[in-house]
Amino acid sequence: MTWPHLEPADDDNPNHIQVVATPSVGDLDGDCIPEILFNSYNGQNYTTNGVLRAIRGDTGEKVWSITDPAYRADSGSTPAIGDLDYDGRPEVVNPGEGAWLYAVSWDGTILWKSQNYSGGGKSGSPSIVNMDLQGNAEIVYGRTVFDAQGQVLWTGAGGLGNNGSVGQLSCVADLNGDLRPEVIAGGTAYTFTGSVGVDFSGSVLWQSGGDGFCGVADFQLDGTPEVVLVRSGSIDVLEGLTGAVLAQYAIPSGGAGG
């Protein structure tokens, strides 16, 4: 499939034509044709003044763009797509240029700007997950959990999910087999109890070294997950339940990795 070349309209930030981060793909309007969502920027600084865009997957034509200056994006980030309120239509959650997220409905209507999260780092990405397995979904960004309206529910005190100055980027997975998701942010795994709006709370499941980017997989094929961290010139494989280091590999020629 080849798209025709399409130029942004004069009122659609036509100079925001650069893209540095991986796009997201999802069917926003339920027509069985996926849309592609990405953050675009102008100039050299891709962490501020970004414009979130949605285009058709079959033709590349514009679906909508978020051009309101109050909702400029961090264009080094990848937006998350998911149904926050279980109404059958997806929402989009995107990192803003400040220490906040914002949500957009499937048709491009801006829904909210979140409370600020703690910690530094730019070019992270959120996750949409039901943390208490009840009611609406929640949003995880680094070590912070937000409710479906962008209010901060809980913030950890350990790892952020940063690799150098880049992040926050965490993982969500059931590490201890209790069927509830844990959050892995760098070298810290957080576990959660209770219900949102009642007694929702988190604590440290384990701490294992410094910050970094994570991945989760069952490498030993024993039915329990391992955690991979890329950080400070090495790739570490950790036991998912305890954080114990199972293997460590130096990144050739050093560097932070990605």
Report yes or no: 163 and 231 within 8 Å, Cβ to Cβ: yes
Residue 258 pLDDT = 64
pLDDT in tens, 26-62: 999 999 999 999 999 999 989 999 999 999 999 999 9
Q: What is the CATH number of the domain that holds 132?
A: 2.40.128
Instruction: Indicate the residue among 113, 130, 150 that finishes a domain.
Output: 113
Instruction: Evaluate if pTM is beyond 0.75.
Output: yes
Residue 12 and residue 132 in one domain = no
Paired sense of beta strands 166-169 and 122-125, if any: parallel
* Token pair belonging to 238: 């950790």
Give the type of residue at 52. L
* Whether residues 167 and 193 fall in one domain: yes
**Structural domain total, the chain:** 2
Which of 73, 94, 113 delimits the end of a domain? 113
Smallest CA-to-CA distance from 208 within 224, 185, 180 is with: 185
Alpha carbon separation from 6 to 41, 52, 55, 84, 139 (Å, rounded): 17, 17, 11, 32, 33
User: Do both 166 and 184 map to the same domain?
Assistant: yes
Its domain, for residue 65, covers 1-113
- Residue ending a domain, choose from 113, 147, 178: 113
The distance from CA 63 to its chain's CA centroid, rounded to whole angstroms, is 22
Whether residue 153 sits in one domain with residue 96? no
For 133-162, the pLDDT digits (tens) are 999 999 999 999 999 999 999 999 999 999
**pLDDT computed for residue 1 by the predictor:** 65
Q: Report pLDDT for 187.
A: 97
Task: Mark whether 82 and 105 lie in a shared domain.
Answer: yes
Given this model, what pLDDT does residue 254 score? 74
Output the pLDDT for position 121: 86
Pair (125, 145) in one structural domain: yes
111 C-beta neighbours (distance < 10 Å), count: 16
CA distance 172 to 182: 6
- Do 100 and 168 have their domain in common? no
Note whether 65 and 12 are same-domain residues: yes
Same domain? For 131 and 108 the reply is no
- Residue 8's pLDDT is 80
Strands 201-207 and 245-250: what pairing?
A: unpaired
Residue ranges of the chain with per-residue pLDDT less than 50 = none
- Residues 8, 105: one domain? yes
In sequence order, which residues have a C-beta less than 8 Å from that of residue 225 and are 6 or more positions away? 173, 174, 175, 216, 217, 218, 240
My answer on whether 109 and 142 are in the same domain is no
The answer to whether residues 250 and 124 belong to one domain is yes
